[in-house]
Amino acid sequence: MALPQPAPERSPLEELVEETLGAIRARGTHRRMRVLEGAQAPRMRVGGREVLLFAGSNYLDLAHHPEVVEASARAAREWGCAAGGSRLISGNLALHEALEHELAEFLGTEAALAFTTGYAANVGVIPALVGEGDVVVSDALSHASVVDGCRLSKAGLRVFPHADLDALEDTLREISAIARRVLVVVDGVYSMDGDTAPLAELVPLAKRWDAIVLIDDAHGTGTLGATGRGTAELAGVEAGVDIWMGTLGKSLGSFGAFVAGSERLRELLVNVARSFIFSCALAPPQVAAARTALRVMRAEPWRRERLQANAARLRSRLAGYGISTAPSTTQIVPVVIGENARTMAICERLLARGFYAQGIRHPSVAAETARLRLTPMATHRTEEIDALADALAAEVAAPA
Ligand SMILES: Cc1ncc(COP(=O)(O)O)c(C=O)c1O
């Protein structure tokens, strides 16, 4: 007769996984990845179903642009698929330097430096600028990579309520006597709300208190401003911005990021930004794609104009149904539902109707403010925008 076996003991790893995932499930914020097929484009296959994509950040539809694809393929043939090292060892290709010159020329800065992602840029640049004895001042809704960069820096961290300029001024006044240096860092476009930082007032205010100003314009680069230079161009305060961070993986249809500013800033980052120093350089196909996308974006302002027109139409169609998209003024259009389960149920029902608009929950947004985050593209047709608004309105009105 077989003896009863003792219950197998759970390993410490299994225990911690179970504990953590159990808590996440109990909060209703468990996530899973959807599988998409095909190039990032207005129409894609998601989970095997043909849908209209309203969930990406390939805003200008450049990721699959024939010239971008061809440049990337040519770079793979001529330069290979890897840079083969970090920039300071063997990975600094002429292609990287060319991209950086073109980005600097576009932004009107002296120099730029490429990073492998926006996340890496923020966790590299912030600790390169401030440390113990300094204070970094940031908006309450700053991106997670800004928050992590602030934490890594070991500088004092002061967070002001979202877009509250009076609170920012109070903070700057208070810390001016004690901080060696002050860095003010804000997102240009808030990625879950689609509003822009009040840069027209914020930049001069930070300058009055002698702070260094860093703008994370991950979503503004290429999409906002008369020539696509982003939120500071839109607000007319480019001259006051010391440092720009932008990404290559959103409107620029490739992968990676950059920090732009003075030549001396670039030299500093090359010497001290750990995520730059201790990481492999961007691969040639990514660099070539970004260079070509930058050229196409500059040559084709209609993409930016159509993107913003599509976003404005979506906001106004939803408003017609009594659905608020506040505080969005950009191509990121949130519809706050509130409750996690209901948000995800609407997301699934929209998918079944042929629209992919991702539900976003805590911790990406504050608890109880779960939302559908709609991101139209420049190349969505007007009737597709309208169809999304109609379908969403029907689902929001449906009983939970
Ligand atoms: C405001 C902001 N900053 C930084 C990042 C990070 O950029 P990346 O995706 O290139 O790491 C994002 C990306 O989602 C973002 O929204």
The DSSP line for 199-240 is HHHHHHHHHHTT-EEEEE-TTTTTTSSTTS--HHHHHT-GGG
How are strands ordered across the β-sheet holding 49-53?
A: 36-37, 43-46, 49-53, 355-356
Distances (CA, A) of 198 to 13, 85, 183: 46, 40, 17
259 vs 269: CA distance, rounded Å? 9
Q: What share of the chain is helix, strand, coil (3-state, %, to 5)?
A: 45, 15, 40
Does 124 contact ligand 1 (Cβ within 6 A)? no
Residue whose CA is closest, atom 8 of ligand 1?
118
Active-site hit among 65, 143, 219, 380: 219
CA of residue 321 to ligand 1 center, whole Å = 31
CA of residue 10 to ligand 1 center, whole Å = 37
The pLDDT of residue 3: 76
Contacts of 80 (CB under 8 A, 6+ apart): 284
| Catalytic residue status for 380 | no
Active-site hit among 65, 96, 143, 250: 250
**Do the beta carbons of residue 156 and residue 175 sit within 8 Å?**
yes
Does 56 contact ligand 1 (Cβ within 6 A)? no
Residue whose CA is closest, atom 16 of ligand 1?
191
| Catalytic residue status for 72 | no
* Local structure of 187: helix, strand or coil: strand
Q: What is the DSSP letter of 304?
A: H
Residue whose CA is closest, atom 6 of ligand 1?
118
Does 187 contact ligand 1 (Cβ within 6 A)? yes
- pTM higher than 0.85, yes or no? yes
Active-site hit among 138, 191, 254, 275: 191
* Local structure of 37: helix, strand or coil: strand
CA of residue 64 to ligand 1 center, whole Å = 20
**Do the beta carbons of residue 359 and residue 370 sit within 8 Å?**
yes
Distances (CA, A) of 227 to 63, 202, 234, 248: 20, 22, 9, 16
Which atom in ligand 1 lies closest to the alpha carbon of residue 191?
16
CA of residue 369 to ligand 1 center, whole Å = 21
72 vs 80: CA distance, rounded Å? 10
Does 275 contact ligand 1 (Cβ within 6 A)? no
- The series of mean pLDDT values per 10 residues for the chain, 400 residues long, is 75 95 90 92 92 97 98 98 97 98 98 98 98 97 97 97 98 95 98 98 98 98 98 97 98 98 98 98 98 98 98 98 97 96 95 95 91 98 98 90
**Do the beta carbons of residue 344 and residue 357 sit within 8 Å?**
no
342: tokens are: 């209901």
Residue whose CA is closest, atom 9 of ligand 1?
118
Does 191 contact ligand 1 (Cβ within 6 A)? yes
Distances (CA, A) of 247 to 44, 134, 153, 244: 23, 27, 21, 10
- Which of 293, 358, 392 is closest to 34 using CA atoms? 358
335: tokens are: 């519809």
Taking the CA atoms of the chain, what radius of gyration do you get in angstroms?
Answer: 22
Q: How many residues does the chain have?
A: 400
The pLDDT of residue 1: 64
Residue whose CA is closest, atom 4 of ligand 1?
118
Does 218 contact ligand 1 (Cβ within 6 A)? yes
Which atom in ligand 1 lies closest to the alpha carbon of residue 257?
10
| End-to-end C-alpha distance for the chain, whole angstroms | 54
Residue whose CA is closest, atom 5 of ligand 1?
118
The residue assigned the tokens 């920012």 is 168
| Catalytic residue status for 138 | no
- What are residue 113's DSSP bridge partners? 259
Beta strands in the chain (DSSP E): 36-37, 43-46, 49-53, 111-115, 135-139, 156-160, 182-187, 212-216, 243-247, 257-261, 333-338, 355-356, 358-360, 370-374
Residue whose CA is closest, atom 15 of ligand 1?
218
